[in-house]
Structure 1
Amino acid sequence: MTTVAWKRGAAGAVLAAAVLAAAGCSGGDGTPSGAVSSAASAVKSAGEAVSSAASEAAKSAESAAAVAKDKLAEVKNGVDAKGQVTLGAVATDADGFTTVPVTVQNTDDAAKSFAVQVEFKDEGGSLLDTVVVTVKDVAGKGTGQGTARSTHKLSGTVAASTGTALRY
């Protein structure tokens, strides 16, 4: 579960508490009690936290995408090699970062290097992070290995896919 999804769940729980409090907690004159006002404030704060977390996540993903685009732009005379890339199972390393093994197949007769953009996405398909893995000097007709590692800790169910892949 992503941080944003967790905070949405927390906001829902606070909202439910506010509704329950409102149902049975009013002053004798019909005005809401302090508990209801506090619950309403908590709901508003939780909503703001969700919005803030979503905004930060989007900014982080945009920043990572810009860095990946710049790295790929540095590749000269690259050819599309997306079909020559296989990603393994997504895992979390000992430091809490998301990783995925990257295997490249060099179909050329000469040694080549690869720049592979790996995109990490949440269950809904939203981009969480993107990185570029370089696998250097893969022998002609050979395979090479690398590991993509997220730039920050990701939570929840994370899938990985190949964005751009260049052989050069």
Structure 2
Amino acid sequence: MAGRWTRGAAGAILAGVVAVAAAGCSDGNSGNASDAASKAASAASSAASSLASKGGDALASASAEARQKLSGVKNGVQAKGDVTLGTPAAASDGKATVEVSAKNTASAAKSFAVQVNFTDKHGNLLDVTVVTLKDVAAGSTGDATARSHRKLTGEVHAVVNAALRY
């Protein structure tokens, strides 16, 4: 899911390494050109692998945290249809934010746990977070802001993956 993001970043790293290797080839020392290209390819592969691992680990951790928060809700009722999201924006620190609104259709004050998935324009998962809206009065709408765990770049979308009213 996050593969396209990590592949894109890995491609950028590879392009940079190839440019450095190509610059090394222009010094007229053709005996070292092959060694430089081999070292550059090795460095790119290592950097791409490290980047993919870090991105995948962060996403897996965020997903596990979201599952844990939602599974901890006692007597929750599915309320995905009562939740709406605003348009995602980038905060000054580069993390994605989105406004979350939850309408309480119950006859008493209720809280909401809402899982927000941040995705790219192709629907690939970039990050996951859970926001809690506490004690929303009966018939009222509560508001909160969901925030990604890490910096997200490019076109970011947000979708409600799950919502529980309790």
Q: CA RMSD in A?
A: 2.6
Amino acid of the residue matched to residue 146 of structure 2? Answer: A
Instruction: Among all aligned residue pairs of Structure 1 and Structure 2, give the percentage whose two residues are the same amino acid.
Output: 47
Match of 1:6 in 2: 9
Flag structure 1 segments of 5+ consecutive residues without an equivalent: none
Match of 2:158 in 1: 160
Match of 1:43 in 2: 41
Q: TM-score, normalised by structure 2?
A: 0.84
Q: Of 137, 140, 143, which residue of structure 1 is paired with 2:138?
A: 140
- Distance in 1 separating the partners of 2:6 and 2:155: 11
How far has the Cα of 1:41 moved from its partner?
A: 1.4
Match of 2:123 in 1: 125
- Distance in 2 separating the partners of 1:65 and 1:44: 31
3-state DSSP of counterpart to 1:152: strand
3-state DSSP of counterpart to 1:107: coil
Q: TM-score, normalised by structure 1?
A: 0.83
3-state DSSP of counterpart to 1:101: strand
> What CA deviation, in whole Å up to 9, does each residue of 1:70-122 have, x standing for no partner?
11111111010111111111111122221111011111122111000111123
Match of 2:71 in 1: 73
Match of 1:106 in 2: 104
- Distance in 2 separating the partners of 1:81 and 1:108: 11
Amino acid of the residue matched to residue 6 of structure 1? Answer: A
- Distance in 2 separating the partners of 1:73 and 1:134: 13
Q: How many residues align?
A: 163
For the pair shown, the structure with the greater C-alpha radius of gyration is 1
* Greater mean alpha carbon deviation, residues 150-159 or residues 50-59: 150-159
* Greater mean alpha carbon deviation, residues 123-132 or residues 89-98: 123-132
